[in-house]
Structure 1
């Protein structure tokens, strides 16, 4: 049996460990660790009504992502894939019987109906408490909404801070990991395939 290699830098050890997980596709443990080790940034108590305009007018959306939280998991979505953000309606969502278990309801506005998805149910097959949802991320030309409990902030996806997934695996929706703050990066293209 070979002698284990000693790594003196904790950051390097963490990076090596996460890289191995991404390559081996053993992300369940990582997701549990993410939930336990996230440094909780202050939750945005109130989102301005024009946050969508703010995001859409950022000078450079490419290479940036919005950090948000769903059922204790911190996730990231590229700003390129985000069409807007809505506050959770006070009157709730329209309920349509017969929809899949991951559909929370429909957000109805003049000339626009958006099917709202519970990400927790979709990506973990566990139901979540929809009462925790505060915002809806609009994607896919505003045809689809992602129910989220908190919005953090926008971050740059810099190469030294991101571990992109090289091979598709058990969780195709997972594009990679943002190392700081520790977050799972969603591949919207792959996430939409789960809805078919």
Structure 2
């Protein structure tokens, strides 16, 4: 029966279903399973002490010319390195008590964002101003009274490699991430609802997809860690040397 239902899905629907299954599997994995992917440190055996052998009497060395030591210039002070991204904790600080969430959809995939970190919801009423040479995940700038909002092609950012064709044409809204300059383009916005922390399958480790805090099985949606998502976007902007202002 399940096979018959799968055959009725379109190619795009099948890709979305597969991706959601992978998200659910990722959320229920244990830290030990993810640690198996990490390289195991090897123990270096100490080398045996060298054995001293008797040395035959050698001829007297010829006096060499004195070596003139040239002092080298002091090394230049290196620039301060970029801050290293740290894997977020398993449970965000806003998840200690029941919290309100908002569901929105991206190419058929349901995502949820906590209302406490929802900056705003903007309707896409005019074309987003694109930036030549920008990566696929960056749609462009949406001017506004509170400043320019950098709009992310959410399907390209979240579902890389499994994006349905013409997904960008279905975007109708932009979800602003807290007070950051970033917004996620989405197809539709649903109703808000209250979640108890026990209803979420929190991820025990987030070495992959750090933005995914967990999944809500009852609503079949992925819960976004807003602050981590914003940090990842800012990191991508720095590493790809984008001028998005």
What TM-score range do you get, normalising by the shorter chain?
Answer: 0.5 to 0.7
In structure 1, the gaps of 5 or more residues are 1-16, 26-61
Is this contact kept in 2: 1:81–1:188, CA < 8 A? Answer: yes
CA 1:180/1:111 → structure 2, altered by over 3 Å: closer, same or farther?
A: closer
Partner of 2:76: none
Normalised by the size of structure 1, how large is the TM-score? 0.66
In structure 2, how many angstroms separate the alpha carbons of the residues matched to 1:84 and 1:171? 24
- Alignment match of 2:141 (pick from 94, 101, 106): 106
Do structure 1's residue 119 and structure 2's residue 154 form an aligned pair? yes
Alignment of 1:19-34 (within 5 A): 21-23=28-30, 24=33
CA 1:92/1:186 → structure 2, altered by over 3 Å: closer, same or farther?
A: same
In structure 2, how many angstroms separate the alpha carbons of the residues matched to 1:93 and 1:20? 33
Deviation at 1:172, TM superposition (A): 0.9
Superposition RMSD in Å? 2.4
The Cα offsets for residues 53-96 of structure 1, whole Å up to 9 and x where unpaired, read as xxxxxxxxx7111111001110101111111101112x211112
Normalised by the size of structure 2, how large is the TM-score? 0.53
Bigger radius of gyration, 1 or 2? 2
- Alignment match of 1:64 (pick from 79, 91, 100): 100
Partner of 1:76: 112
Is this contact kept in 2: 1:19–1:163, CA < 8 A? Answer: no
Partner of 1:7: none
In structure 1, how many angstroms separate the alpha carbons of the residues matched to 2:221 and 2:112? 6
Structure holding more strand per residue: 1
Partner of 2:181: 143
Matched residue of 1:189: which SS? helix
Matched residue of 1:85: which SS? strand
